Structures are given as C-alpha cells and as structure tokens.
C-alpha cells in the first residue's frame, strides 16, 4: 500500500504523486461511489498500484475543501485584486476573504495593476494595503515602477505550499501566473481548450509544480458566490470583529442595531474600517435573503 497526493483527475482516473515525485495513475474503488464519497485533487490517499494501474483504497481526512473548484487541502489562496481596470472593489475582496475563512483556507491578497495608478492613487492604495495588514492578512502591493521584488516575495510565500489563485475577470490572474511560470500558462491554455467543448463541461483541476509550490491550474473560481453558513456565523469571519466582540453588552450581538455594541464603537473610533462594516451589513442582508441550500458534497471524509 502506498500513500500520495492526487494532483490530477480526469474521466474517472486519478494521478497520484508520491514522495519520490513519481506520478502513478489510479481509479477509485466502487465503494466510494456507493457511499457518496469522491476523491478530490489535493487529497492524500492510500492506494495500490501494479503495471501502471492502481486503485485508491482510502481518502485521508481533509484539512479543508473548496467546492468550486473541487480541491482539498489548500495551504493558501492568492486573491488577485485589481486596483484599476477594473477599479478596486472592497466588497468583492471582502466577500472572497469571508468565503475562504468559512472554508478554513488562508488567504493572501495580491494587488495588481499598480503601474496604472497616479501617485495620489498609489498613496490611497497603500492605505488600503495597510487596512488589510492591520487586520492580519498577508498582503502584497507591487511598487509603481518595479514589480520584480514582489514576485520574489510571492514565490517566497508560496514555497512548499499548495496554492489556488482567484480573482475577477481582468484582475490579471493569468498574467501573474504566467510570470510565475511560463509552463503553467501553457498548461492553463491547453487544459482550458480541451475542456471548452461544451457549455456545461465539468471543470477539471490540476496541481502543477512551480518552483517549490504546487499551484492549482483551474479555469475558474466561484466558491464565494454563495455564503453557505448561518447568518449568526458571519461575524466569525471578520477578524477585527472577533477581536472586540467580547466587549459587546449582549451575548449574541449581531453588531447591527444593538446598544452597547463594541464593534459599532470601534467603527466610530476608526479602529474598524467603514468599508469593512459596509461589507458585513451587505453580506448579512444577502445571507438573510438566500434560499436554503442543501449540501450534497462530502466535506469531512
């Protein structure tokens, strides 16, 4: 019996990389299908292999999992965020941060298109950077004239980790990935072309070795479209709220209209950014208006 990580799934086959770096192709046992379990890219599994044909016997417990793209055991999600063209959207960034927190995935914010900013716009961008740094997020803002140092910083942050990249259309995700590794860009193009035959084609995920990191090559990222948790948990995913909410007058304070709310007091004092509180209120209303969703995926195998 061998143990390895699934780095690719395609048409019922799973390519598993073992500690030596060797990749072996397998299928999943029928028992997984009967129990509603499904191996995912990123899973650690026990398998047997002979004559280049193997069988997965066990899926190890997952640290975390994303539904779209379907991938498990992610160390970091790089949120590629444009400062211009399209203009910076704090609501979208906060939405991605909340979705990742709910999935127990560590985020890294990478701002792009700083070279398009005027000096005054860049000063404002540094204020935005400091806002998220203060909360505790790892954040990278390239300088106007030289982005190379920031690529080195990003490579350092990714070293030895499994990473996914996410970002709205036009944010510069593909450009950033291609700069990290031209091979990754080529792979993305090949995979995307192969999977674009039909409108409803299932999107595949592949983990590709880039320096000392494994980066998920995935055509899209939409796990932040719907918040799949009770509205009472929303504040759990705003670290600056968590830091002060024990001082709220009422237990279970929702930080909206309750008297003696420590979060609202911190907002008044400027310790919590108005844009972050605006995002919280918008997400609260969104979750309250959502229809119930019934989970069919197996998150805790």
Specify binding-site residues for GTP: 112-115, 167-175
Low-confidence ranges of the chain (pLDDT < 70): 52, 146-148, 183-203, 218-225, 292-301
Measured CA distances, 276 to 3, 94, 109 (Å): 43, 7, 15
CATH (residue range 66-217): 3.40.50.300
Quote the tokens at residue 40. 């995912």
Distance CA 87, CA 33 (A): 45
Specify binding-site residues: 112-115, 167-175, 248, 253, 255, 261
Please provide the DSSP assignment of 79-100 as one string.
Answer: EEEESTTTTP-HHHHHHHHHHH
Please provide the DSSP assignment of 1-13 as one string.
Answer: -EEEEEEEEETTE
Check residue 173 and give its pLDDT.
Answer: 85
* Per-residue H/E/C for 41-74: ECCEEEEEEECCEEEEEEECCCCCEECCCCEECC
Residue reference for tokens 């899926």: 59
Check residue 134 and give its pLDDT.
Answer: 96
In this chain, the answer to whether the domains covering 2-61 and 66-217 adopt an identical fold is: no
Check residue 293 and give its pLDDT.
Answer: 62
Domain 2-61 classification at class level:
mainly beta
User: Do you find a cis peptide bond into 86, omega within 30 degrees of 0?
Assistant: yes
Domain boundaries, the chain: 2-61, 66-217, 231-289
Distance CA 100, CA 154 (A): 19
Alpha helices (runs of H) in 23-158, residue ranges in sequence order: 30-34, 90-102, 119-135, 148-158
Q: For residue 171, how many other CB atoms are within 10 A of its CB?
A: 25
Check residue 97 and give its pLDDT.
Answer: 96
Check residue 151 and give its pLDDT.
Answer: 85
Superfamily grouping for domain 231-289: Probable gtpase engc; domain 3 (1.10.40.50)
Check residue 104 and give its pLDDT.
Answer: 95
Check residue 178 and give its pLDDT.
Answer: 84
Specify binding-site residues for Zn(2+): 248, 253, 255, 261
Whether the model clears a pTM of 0.85, i.e. scores above it, the answer is yes
The most distant pair of C-alpha atoms in the chain lies apart, rounded to whole Å, by: 69
């Amino acid at each position: 019996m061998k143990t390895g990580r699934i780095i690719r799934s395609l048409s019922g086959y799973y390519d598993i990389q073992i500690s030596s770096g060797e990749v072996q192709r397998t299928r999943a046992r029928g028992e997984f299908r009967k129990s509603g379990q499904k191996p995912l890219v990123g899973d650690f599994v026990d398998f047997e292999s002979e004559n280049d044909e193997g069988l997965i016997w066990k899926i190890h417990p997952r640290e975390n999992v994303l539904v779209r793209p379907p991938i498990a055991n992610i160390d970091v999600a790089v949120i590629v965020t444009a400062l211009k063209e399209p203009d910076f959207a704090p609501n979208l960034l906060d939405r991605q941060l909340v979705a990742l927190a709910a999935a127990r995935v560590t985020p890294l914010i990478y701002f792009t298109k700083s070279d398009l900013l005027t000096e005054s716009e860049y000063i404002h961008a540094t204020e935005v950077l400091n806002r998220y740094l203060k909360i505790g997020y790892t954040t990278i803002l390239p300088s106007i004239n030289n982005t190379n140092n920031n690529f080195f910083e990003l490579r350092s942050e990714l070293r030895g980790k499994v990473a996914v990249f996410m970002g709205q259309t036009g944010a510069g995700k593909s450009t950033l990935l291609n700069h990290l590794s031209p091979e990754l860009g080529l792979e993305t193009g090949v995979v995307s072309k192969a999977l674009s035959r039909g409108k409803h084609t299932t999107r595949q995920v592949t983990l590709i070795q880039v320096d000392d990191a494994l980066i998920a090559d995935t055509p899209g990222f939409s796990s932040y479209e719907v918040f799949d948790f009770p509205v009472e948990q929303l504040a759990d995913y705003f670290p600056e709220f968590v830091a002060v909410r024990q001082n709220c007058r009422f237990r279970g304070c929702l930080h909206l209209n309750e008297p003696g709310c420590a979060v609202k007091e911190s907002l008044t004092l400027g310790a919590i950014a108005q844009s972050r509180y605006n995002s919280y209120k918008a997400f609260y209303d969104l979750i309250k208006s959502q229809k119930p969703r019934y989970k069919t995926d197996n998150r805790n195998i």
